[in-house]
Amino acid sequence: MCITRRAPIDARRVMPRPILCLSRSIWDDERTTPRNRYQILSRLARRRHVTFVERPFECATLAHPSRAKLAALTIALGRPRRHPEGVMTVRPLAWLQRDGDDRAWWLNDRLYRPWLRHARALAGDDPIVWIYDARLIRCIDESDNATVVYHCTEDYGGIARAGLGDRAGAWMEQCEIALARQADWVFAVSDGIAEKLRPHSRAIQVIRNAVDLDIFRAPAPETPVTRELDALPRPILTYVGEIGFKIDFDLIGLLADRFAAGSLVLIGPVDRGATARLDALRAKPNVHVLGHRPVNELPGLIDRADVCLMPFITDNWFSAAAQPLKTFEYLARGKPIVASWMPNLATIDADIAICRGHAEFLERCEALLRMNSPMASRRRIAAAEENGWDERVAAIESVLEELDQRRGRIA
């Protein structure tokens, strides 16, 4: 069933349980900071004790040691770390992560489970087990009777199938379905993901991505990079985000050619698999690849854009599930947006140009360059103001209070 907003529970009568989050990311990797899990858990930590189990250190990688690997091993072997956001992190050990390989899982399980028991003890009494990555379902002991929350932010089955083939995709979808069935509550980042998981879940709720308003509505400082952008020929068309398999590189090339007198700016970390395609684009004189930039620099970089882009692939599995994090970050700076076809964007009342093909994408960019106005910019900012992370976390906290109440956690 789809759960809608309920009457608030009296928070004074409900004792908030701790959260034990199982993840395959690193908490203080600055590339993680804008992401859904960081924004949500750092806010939940204001009221609840949050223990975050990070991506394991893979011991097999020490066959080719480096300073970075030795530093990561030192963290894994050291004490749990408390971060300024109030979150406690534990980094476990594994041998070598190989999805779908039962032999590798057996060996990893013997290294991982002692760390998981340690993290469970750190988390406190009767924690809510919060899982972002369905591959970790095998870490849950059904006999433990834990309250389980599955927060699904991607179509991981589609990602695995696109990157690793049908066998990997099928294995990942089995993990997703099994976790949705076991979870007491499922949060989905989009209507498309909710529809996929609804037949398998007891309770599901859409919690869309949002924007960190403290960062994205604040005045943006001038930096050496913003001064470089000020010197570029206009119009400036800007994409901010990961540069990898989700990007429609053919569309990027068409944009660079159509706006050859202007500038195409790509900002974000580059996946290794995208290097060759990106190198071909770098050969175009008006394409500027800035790489990863700290999140506090992004407002100033977005401010230099005349149009902001979401030029993604339109494979059905992706377009049905996607609700990009950057949507409300662009809107918070008042910028017009042109996006590839993603039906989940249609419910946002901010005049986002959602395009069904390359030709329409190019045409809408040209139209928005001619038609942008201060009134339209104010309307976009207003839409962003209604979609901050604090509002999203308030809805999540209402659900967690209900789960606490079911558990008898009444003061």
How many other CB atoms are there within 10 angstroms of residue 109's CB atom? 15
CATH class in words for 19-210+389-406? alpha beta
The CATH code for residues 213-385 is 3.40.50.2000
pLDDT range class, residue 29, cuts 50, 70, 90: confident
**pLDDT of 1 higher than 50:** no
Topology match between the domains 19-210+389-406 and 213-385: yes
Phi, psi of 262 (to 5 degrees): -105, -150
Parallel/antiparallel/unpaired status of strands 185-188 and 337-340: unpaired
pLDDT for 2: 39
The mean per-residue pLDDT over the stretch 205-214 comes to 96
Report pLDDT for 407: 85
- Check residue 341 and give its pLDDT: 95
Stated pTM of the model:
0.90
Summarize the confidence of residues 351-360 as an average pLDDT.
95
Band the pLDDT of 409: cuts 50, 70, 90. Answer: low
Say what the pLDDT of residue 9 is: 46
What pLDDT shows up at residue 128? 96
Residue 13 has pLDDT above 90, yes or no: no
Q: Categorize the per-residue pLDDT at 111 as very low, low, confident or very high, splitting at 50, 70 and 90.
A: confident
Terminal Cα-to-Cα distance of the chain (whole angstroms) = 30
The confidence score (pLDDT) of residue 139 equals 82
Residue keyed to tokens 């993901």: 193
Helix axis angle for 249-258 and 275-282, nearest 10°, is 10
Quick one: average pLDDT of 20-45?
88
- Which is it for the CA torsion 348, 352, 353, 355, positive or negative? negative
Query: Per-residue pLDDT for 31 more than 90?
Result: no
Centre a 10 Å sphere on the Cβ of residue 10 and count the other Cβ atoms it contains. Answer: 10
Q: What is the 3-state secondary structure (H, E, C) of the chain?
A: CECCCCCCCCCCCECCCCEEEECCCCCCCCCCCCCHHHHHHHHHCCCCCEEEECCCEEHHHHHCCCHHHHHHHHHHHCCCEECCCCEEEECCEECCCCCCCHHHHHHHHHHHHHHHHHHHHHHCCCCEEEECCHHHHHHCCHHHCCEEEEEECCCHHHHHHHHHCHHHHHHHHHHHHHHHHHCCEEEECCHHHHHHHHHHCCCEEECCCCECHHHHCCCCCCCHHHHHHHCCCCCEEEEECCECCCECHHHHHHHHHHCCCCEEEEECCECHHHHHHHHHHHCCCCEEEEECCCHHHHHHHHHCCCEEEECECCCHHHHHHCCCCHHHHHHHCCCCEEEECCHHHCCCCCCCEEECCHHHHHHHHHHHHHHCCHHHHHHHHHHHHCCEHHHHHHHHHHHHHHHHHHCCCEC
| Residue 349 banded pLDDT, cuts 50, 70, 90 | confident
Cis peptide before 235 (omega within 30 of 0): yes
Average pLDDT, integer, range 76-81: 91
Contact 100, 170 (CB under 8 A): no
pLDDT at 6 over 90: no
Percent of the chain with pLDDT over 70: 93
Burial of 291 (0-12, 13-18, 19+ CB in 10 A): exposed
Please, what is the average pLDDT of the chain?
Answer: 90
For 360-388, the pLDDT digits (tens) are: 999 999 999 998 899 999 999 999 999 99
Average pLDDT score over residue span 66-77: 91
Q: Position 264: which residue type?
A: L
Helix orientation angle between 249-258 and 358-371, rounded to the nearest 10 degrees: 50
Banded pLDDT at 87 (limits 50, 70, 90): very high
What token pair was written down for 145? 């009777």
* Nearest-angstrom CA–CA distance, 120 and 19: 9
Give the pLDDT score at 113: 83
Q: What integer is the mean pLDDT of 132-156?
A: 87
* Per-domain boundaries in the chain: 19-210+389-406, 213-385
More confidently predicted of 2 and 163: 163
Residue 1 identity (one-letter amino acid): M
Distance separating alpha carbons of residues 23 and 280, to the nearest angstrom: 35
Q: Of the candidates 209, 281, 206, which has an alpha carbon nearest to the alpha carbon of residue 249? A: 281
Residue 344 has pLDDT above 80, yes or no: yes
The pLDDT tens digits for 293-336 are 999 999 999 999 999 999 999 998 999 999 999 999 999 999 99
User: Higher confidence at residue 200 or residue 105?
Assistant: 200
Per-residue tokens: 115: 């760390």
Q: What is the pLDDT of residues 264-273, one digit of tens each?
A: 999 999 998 8
Mean pLDDT calculated for residue range 386-398: 97
CA distances from 395 to 8, 192, 206, 236, 402 (A): 9, 19, 10, 37, 11
Please give the average per-residue pLDDT across 191-215, as a whole number.
96
Give the pLDDT confidence of 241-299 residue by residue, as tens digits: 999 999 999 999 999 999 999 999 999 999 988 899 999 999 999 999 999 999 999 99
Q: Which two three-digit tokens encode residue 122?
A: 């750190």
The lowest-confidence range among 66-70, 72-76, 138-142, 231-235 is 138-142
**Beta bridge partners of residue 19, listed in sequence order:** 50, 128
